[in-house]
């Protein structure tokens, strides 16, 4: 399915809510370890623009020590993985509020660790990720790459059947019209 089709379907989606269930991040198992690497480590390795280096070069299970990452939200360049976060483009708390509260623990784990789609988990600076928090386009837009951000946001929401409010769809459409021409 093309990104355009997903975007159109997102803009036509219906709404849902958490039905009063309070968000608890621990209910979303994230950064699970497969083999000897967590999902977070796998994303950092994938997103490094140069081969990521481990502290112990002969041990791919050792902690990452160096790489070259460019934050898609700010353009900030970093070589230190300790300065970085892996962002859920559509945050766990947002997903919870838009239908994810009803998901099984297995589905929440799958979402929180999904490596199948590069647009889902994004390496960003810790600062940018904290500024974003659990907000989406209604409450936060990146300094850089707004067009790409809202398009990828919409695709992730569509692929995971995450509901969207009318206000969110209007905002996404407005950003696309203003930033994507």
pLDDT digits (tens, 9 = 90+) for 61-109: 999 999 999 999 999 999 999 999 999 999 999 999 999 999 999 999 9
pLDDT of residue 17: 58
- The H or E element that residue 86 is part of is strand 84-88
pLDDT of residue 181: 78
pLDDT of residue 4: 59
Q: Mean pLDDT in the chain?
A: 91
Give start and end residues of each alpha helix (H) in 66-122.
92-97, 105-112
Closest CA to 69 of 20, 5, 129, 115: 129
Could you tell me the residue range of the domain that residue 12 belongs to?
3-179
- What domain count does the chain have? 1
Quote the percentage of the chain above a pLDDT of 90: 84
Give residue 21's pLDDT band: very low, low, confident or very high (50, 70, 90): confident
CA distance linking residue 142 with residue 128, whole number of Å: 8
Contacts of 65 (CB under 8 A, 6+ apart): 53, 54, 55, 81
């Amino acid at each position: 399915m093309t990104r355009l089709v997903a975007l159109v379907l997102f803009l036509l989606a219906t709404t849902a809510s958490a039905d009063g269930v309070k968000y608890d991040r621990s209910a979303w198992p994230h950064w699970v370890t497969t083999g000897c690497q967590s999902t977070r480590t796998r994303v950092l390795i994938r997103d490094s623009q140069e081969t990521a280096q481990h502290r112990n070069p002969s041990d791919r299970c050792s902690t990452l020590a160096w790489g070259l990452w460019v934050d898609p939200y700010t353009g900030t360049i970093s070589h230190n993985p300790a300065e970085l976060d892996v962002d859920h483009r559509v945050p766990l708390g947002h997903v919870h509020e838009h239908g994810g509260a009803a998901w099984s623990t297995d589905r929440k784990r799958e979402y929180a660790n999904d490596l199948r789609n590069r647009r889902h988990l994004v390496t960003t600076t810790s600062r940018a990720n904290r500024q974003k928090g659990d907000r989406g386009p209604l409450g936060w837009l990146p300094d850089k790459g707004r067009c790409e951000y809202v398009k990828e946001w919409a695709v992730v929401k569509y692929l995971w059947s995450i509901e969207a409010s009318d206000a969110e769809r209007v905002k996404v459409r407005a950003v696309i019209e203003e930033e994507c021409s």
